[in-house]
Chains A and B, each alone.
Chain A
Amino acid sequence: MPDGSMWEWRWESAWPAILACSAVTYLIRIGGYWLMGRVPVGPRMSRALDALPGAIFVAATLPIAVKAGPPGLAAAAAAGLTMLATKRDWAAIFLGLAAGAATRAAGF
């Protein structure tokens, strides 16, 4: 690059950023799926893939719920227990959000 000036570029349109963010997001969406078709899936990889959905659920939910404090833990517990007891996801979502909002409204 002549005199390293590309860091000095300025432009008005947001579209380069919007399109780049969209493209990167799509590549991430297909990337893991594509990669798993390129690597040999033996017994170990098969066990990893089998455990992956549950591991994603836990890794995504636990830190956010803990960081949010009582409202986060109440929301997670209400949603999980309702699903376990009733198998109705609409009830689990409703009671989960209600438990979170109520705990927060109560000042926790």
Chain B
Amino acid sequence: MNETTTIAEPIGPTLAGMALGARMAAPFAPGLIVFALANGALSAQTGLSFAETFGMSGVMFAGGAQAMATQMWPHGAWSLSTTLTMIGVVAAVNSRMFLMGASLRPWLSQAPASLIYPNLALLTDLNWSIGVSHRANGGSDIGVVLGAGLLSWIVWTPICMLGWALTGLVTDPRRYALDLMMVVVFSAMSINVFKRARSASPFVVSGAAALAASWLIGGFWFIVIGAVAGAGWAALRGGDA
């Protein structure tokens, strides 16, 4: 798999690795700030309190799921069905994280579980993609994942609260192409991973399955369906897939 990769870094997490992760996440901060302002403003317009907005932004800490959940916030009282529906939507939007975590196992399991499980609370699209890009470049310090995760929490959460306070500052995230944030981040951060890949066929399978699923089923499951199809293809094909 990685026979030829020379790994000079320690597993960490080291402070140097965390600083590197934070530095790698810094270019994403401006986009994150505008997205957070929009998310906070949406919370305020929907009627969430300051504490409730903090719960969704800082505790759940998953921007896409937060935006979807906020849009289905009940106007009156809560019921079991509104709660369960919201949990279902949040789980569907976040389902990709299940696979992201699985993909990090061979790398992160070299560090103690007591260190990894708390750190996974900060797992997002951003620090996952920075981590796998760094890993594909031959790096191994898991501090990179942690540092990028911490930086994004430190930027995301207070700016969401600021957006809540300054309702209306950014009301149309589409104008800044922020609805395409994941597309842009993933397009950029995937380059190192693709350069290292031995075969393109799993990615073709993944893309075709994801496109078909998004057309036929809609919703949010196309990411998981496509990714599982691509990884499954790599497993079944054998050889050097």
Contacts and interface: CB of A to CB of B under 8 A. Distances in A.
Interface of A: 6-22, 24-26, 28-37, 41, 44-68, 71-72, 75-77, 79-80, 82-84, 89-90, 92-94, 96-101, 104-105
B187 A75 contact: yes
Interface in B58-85: 59-62, 65, 69, 73, 77-83
Contacts of B73: 14
Contacts of B103: 32, 49, 52-53, 56
Given A35-B102, A51-B230, A54-B193, A24 B91 contact: yes
6 contacts: A15-B55, A16-B83, A20-B83, A53-B103, A57-B203, A62-B211
B180 A60 contact: no
A3 B213 CA distance: 40
Given A16-B78, A58-B226, A68-B180, A25 B94 contact: yes
Interface residues of B, number: 103
Contacts, number: 308
B116 A18 contact: no
Contact of A28 (B79, B97, B125, B187): B97
Contact of B99 (A10, A32, A96, A105): A32
Majority secondary structure of chain A interface residues (helix, strand, loop or mixed): helix
A52 B98 contact: no
